[in-house]
Amino acid sequence: MRGVFFSFEGPEGSGKSTQIRLLYNYLKKRGLKVLKIREPGGTRIGEKIRKILLNPSFKEISPLSEMLLYMVCRNQLVEEVIIPYLKKGYIILCDRFLDSTFAYQGFGLGVDLKLIKKIADSVCKGITPDLTVVLDLPVEEGLKRAGKKFDRIEIRDLKFHQRVREGYLKLAKLYPKRIKVIAVQNEPLSTQKIIQEIIFKKLCHLRKLSETKNL
């Protein structure tokens, strides 16, 4: 069976990293080949660009430049990591992917969505998540959970973060089969239980499809 690609999205403070870590441990304990990666980053070049993108001192980065820098990171990740590991049959858990660019730079900063899509067609090499989990919660609560704001994205005003959240919800309506919105629960393990059920159901579905093709 070909590898499986899951992406995790959500506004600031939604707890993506925690949920990915819990899911990674859950799948590993069941003997599955799992890889967790993040955006921006995940490669030598990507991690260098990440430091620029999140550094508050680089306030002069324009919305278009910001979008392009994220795309550079994404292309490196697709070429160096995602495609090779999918070929090896891994389950990939990715902390953010293309939907983040639509939400943050598109809906959040006003970069043309059609332009983002056009560039992404080349950057992503046809790679689309088999399933995307969007962790959703009110913006004010998310920023509160995030704690002190240090990076260049987190320090933006409340209206920006509200546009980002609304963007994710719009994307979920556009792609209901791929994007599943989960309301963040008070207890991380409660959220994790919901995620595990969705992931398990998707893995079973993909396995059946694979078996049918091999008949």
Domains defined along the chain, listed by start? 4-213 (3.40.50.300)
Residues pairing with 8 in the sheet: 95, 133
Q: Which two tokens stand for residue 209?
A: 């499809």
Query: Using 50, 70 and 90 to split pLDDT, how confident is the model at 209?
Result: confident
Residue 211 has pLDDT above 90, yes or no: no
Give CA–CA dist 178/171, Å, rounded: 10
* pLDDT single digits (tens) 63-85: 999 999 999 999 999 999 999 99
* pLDDT single digits (tens) 26-65: 999 999 999 999 999 999 999 999 999 999 999 999 999 9
State the alpha helices, DSSP H only, in 79-213: 83-87, 98-100, 113-123, 139-146, 158-174, 188-213
Q: Considering the entire predicted model, what is its pTM?
A: 0.95
